[in-house]
Amino acid sequence: MTDKKITMGKTLIKKSSLSISENGLEKKSSSKRLEVLKTYKIYIGGQFPRTESGRYYVPTNAEGKKLANVCLSSRKDFRDAVVAARSAVSGWSGRSAFNRSQILYRMAEMLEGRKAQFIDELILQDSTKAKALKEVNLAIDRLIYYAGWCDKFQQIFSAVNPVASSHFNFSVPEPTGVVSIIAPQGDSLLGLVSVIAPVIAGGNTCVVLASETKPLCSVTFAEVLNSSDLPGGVVNLLTGKVSELASWYVDHMDVNATIYCENDSTIQKMMREKSAMNLKRIIFYDKVKWGTDEGQSPYFIMDTQEIKTTWHPVENIAGAGSSY
């Protein structure tokens, strides 16, 4: 857009580069549209609040580029999230296993639809295009993998026990309840999906602390969860510092199990000690290669299941002996 010269008599008046044409305002020489930046909030009870502490931190990528102003979640955020997770337990574990499998499959559908956004975020967080594509594809396939397990792992890990007395006796896995998870820190997406999926496939709810240095995908993943018919409170996602929150994740009396995915031995020791308060189950996934087939298995589901054994008498008529 060139400057317009208006000749008025002998004076040249140079108009500004922002000229008003007959059709309306036209912009500067480059027609760049200003991008609306995303506010990275946390995900609690199916909603997206900011951290109640109002604090933020600014993770940077390997080149030193600032990623975003990310919520620095507090102990109170964690406690609020546990309340949400606990109130979601009866609804989620009360659904049919088949329904849970449908919802996990829907999560895969939603993630597939938003692949491009995740690839962009991964690239921003030091991945390459090829690796990012591979990671997102594997995350989608892993959700489908666990969707398929929801209504099948029981058939593999249950038993009808041939007790010697005249009883029908059977043992089944049941979800442990609320699980607090400190997600793999080196992964923005795949590690997160790999720890969440088996926990909820088994009927538990969870409060997850995302990767401290690569938190972007976890917040976007919360949006995927939110559009997947997953009831609010089943997965709650916080961003923040592991060193600040780890002890709150492990000593909350209304949490049934804690999963920790790094190999800091001080934190591991602290967790074993503090979990003793309510005997919550402690699970360390510090050696798992999430990018391989080793990163998915029904045994991850069983890590957050309890076994319940039930007895019922069997009348003895028309046949001697005990029972099943």
Partner 1 sequence: MPKTISKKKSNTVKLKFDTTWKYAPAPESKSAATIKPQYDLFINGEWTKPSGGKYFDTINPANEEKLSEIADANATDVDSAVKAARNAYEKVWKKMPAKERAKYIFRISRIIQEKARELAIIESLDGGKPIRESRDFDVPTAANHFFYYAGWADKLEYAFPNRSTEPLGVAGQIIPWNFPLFMAAWKIAPALATGNTVVLKPAETTSLTALKLAEIIQESDLPPGVVNIITGAGATGAAIVNHPDINKIAFTGSTEVGKIIQRAIAGTNKKVTLELGGKAANIIFEDAPIDQAVEGVINGIYFNQGHVCCAGSRLYVQESVAKQVIRKLKDRIESLIVGDPLDKNTDIGAINSRQQLETIHKYIKIGKQEGSEMYESSCALPGKGFWCRPTLFTNVAQSNRIAQEEIFGPVLAILTFRTDDEVIEKANNSPYGLSAGVWTDKGSKIFNMTKRMRAGVIWANTFNKFDPSSPFGGYKESGFGREGGLHGLLPYLNLVG
What is the binding site for partner 1 (CB under 8 A)? Answer: 97-98, 101-102, 105, 141, 144-145, 147-152, 155-156, 168, 298, 312-319, 323-324
CB of 213 to partner 1, least distance (A): 30
Q: Which is nearer to partner 1, 76 or 312 (CB)?
A: 312
* Nearest distance from C-beta of residue 93 to partner 1, angstroms: 17
* Per-residue tokens: 230: 């997953």
Which residue's CB is nearer to partner 1, number 50 or number 152?
152
Residue 174 one-letter amino acid: E
DSSP 234: S
108 membership: H or E segment, kind and range: helix 97-113
**Beta carbon nearer to partner 1, 277 or 307:** 307
Q: How far apart are CA 25 and CA 12, in angstroms?
A: 22
Q: Which run of H or E residues covers position 88?
A: helix 75-94
Q: Which helix (H) or strand (E) holds 222?
A: helix 216-226
Nearest to 196 by CA among 139, 120, 158: 139
Largest Cα span, the chain: 122
Shortest distance in whole angstroms from residue 177 CB to partner 1:
24
**Cβ count within 10 A of residue 304:** 26
Smallest separation, CB 285 to partner 1 (Å): 20
Of the pair 38, 324, the CB lying nearest partner 1 is at: 324
Q: Which is nearer to partner 1, 70 or 197 (CB)?
A: 197
